[in-house]
Structure 1
Amino acid sequence: MEGFDTRLIDMNRTCKVTKGGQVVKYTAMVACGNYNGVIGFAKAKGPAVPVALQKKSFTISLPICSLAMFDVQLHRCICGSWHYNRHEGWRNKKSILHLAGLMNVKSKVIGSRNPHNTVKAVFKALNAIETPRDVQEKFGRTVVEKYLL
């Protein structure tokens, strides 16, 4: 995808033993972003590492997330969970949020640190971001800082 930078999040190797020998497959999880609030991720499988990395570019357009940011900041604290994993941060979250254009974010993971569940929890949390305009419509009150709207 043009204008998007990609980062490898996780690479897994699985080996299936059959009567004729072993079948090795690789799984790649990749995140992409344009450093301006648009990010996505994809997971692809292949018989070799380069094949798995090539396949991810076809599936990366599906879960694209667009963030509402003001001056490279989030408006409020967010928390997301996926299965038994609560996302409040993670070591690879820095690369995901950097691809979105967010530089000064602190976070923590409570529970399992499985990369697949953690990436899904990050995207679930980012999709739950409310802008000041959303909060204004939700509660029926005006926001004092008009420059946020």
Structure 2
Amino acid sequence: MARDPRDRGRERDRDDRDSEFVDKLVHINRVAKVVKGGRRFGFAALVVVGDQKGRVGFGHGKAREVPDAIKKATDSAKRNLIRVPLREGRTLHHDVHGHHGAGKVFLRAAPPGTGIIAGGPMRAVFETLGVQDVVAKSIGTSNPYNMVRATFDALKHEDSPRGVAARRGKKVSEIVTRRRDGAEGQVSAQAEA
């Protein structure tokens, strides 16, 4: 049976699209089902996928074998990507809180050279997102699923000056200037005291 040459092009496009993403395995959970003959093992995988340019997603997959579970989780993550605005392509625009269940996270923008100061599952999210400088603290649960979901909740609340300006019907320079003037006003007030 002859294959359509267009199919090869579609496959190549799909491979190119997949190659732009970096995926990180965050957690694998082995579960056992007790049956008449003994135990049947299954695996659940949590994977974070991102293009290191501001898009990131996470997925969960279950299967009898580890590679199948990872593949399902990766496919799920690619279907659930979100876009996060980054300042200078390296850090967050502002500090932000996020929570999911008992998991609470606090993310702070950081100056250049700080690196990624974050634990376990949050580190994987930032590495795939493309953030180079961030300080993050997880409070509450250490469950990787809830930590990742709490981190995504915080990232969804991240906003850029451009987005705020568009919403308020102002220019970006007005918003950013005000922020700088406020900081300078505080500094001069402290110097006088």
Which band: TM-score by shorter chain?
A: 0.7 to 0.9
Tell me the residue number matched to 2:176: 144
Amino acid at match of 2:92: L
Gaps of 5+ in 2: 1-17, 107-117, 179-193
Residue 102 of structure 2, aligned match among 84, 96, 107? 84
Give secondary structure in 2 for the equivalent of 1:27.
strand
Tell me the residue number matched to 1:117: 146
Structural mapping, 1:50-129, within 5 Å:
50-71=67-88, 72-88=90-106, 89-129=118-158
> What's the CA shift string for 1:8-44, capped at 9, x where partnerless?
0000000011233211100011111111001111110
Tell me the residue number matched to 2:64: 47
CA RMSD of aligned residues (A): 2.0
Amino acid at match of 1:143: I
Tell me the residue number matched to 2:109: none
* Cα distance in 2 for residues equivalent to 1:144 and 1:126: 21
Gaps of 5+ in 1: none
Give secondary structure in 2 for the equivalent of 1:36.
coil
* Cα distance in 1 for residues equivalent to 2:91 and 2:177: 15
Greater helix fraction, Structure 1 or Structure 2: 2
Tell me the residue number matched to 2:31: 14
CA shift for structure 1 position 55: 1.9
TM-score (norm 2): 0.69
Distance 1:55-1:91 versus aligned 2 partners, 3 A rule: closer
CA shift for structure 1 position 139: 6.2
CA shift for structure 1 position 65: 1.1
Which range moved further: 89-98 or 74-83? 89-98
* Cα distance in 1 for residues equivalent to 2:72 and 2:93: 35
Identity %, equivalent residues: 28
* Cα distance in 2 for residues equivalent to 1:139 and 1:54: 43
CA contact under 8 A between 2:48 and 2:74: conserved in structure 1? no
Amino acid at match of 2:134: V
* Cα distance in 2 for residues equivalent to 1:36 and 1:94: 16
Q: Does 1:27 align with 2:44?
A: yes
> What's the CA shift string for 1:118-141, capped at 9, x where partnerless?
100111110110111343456676
Higher relative contact order (CA 8 A, sep 6+): 1
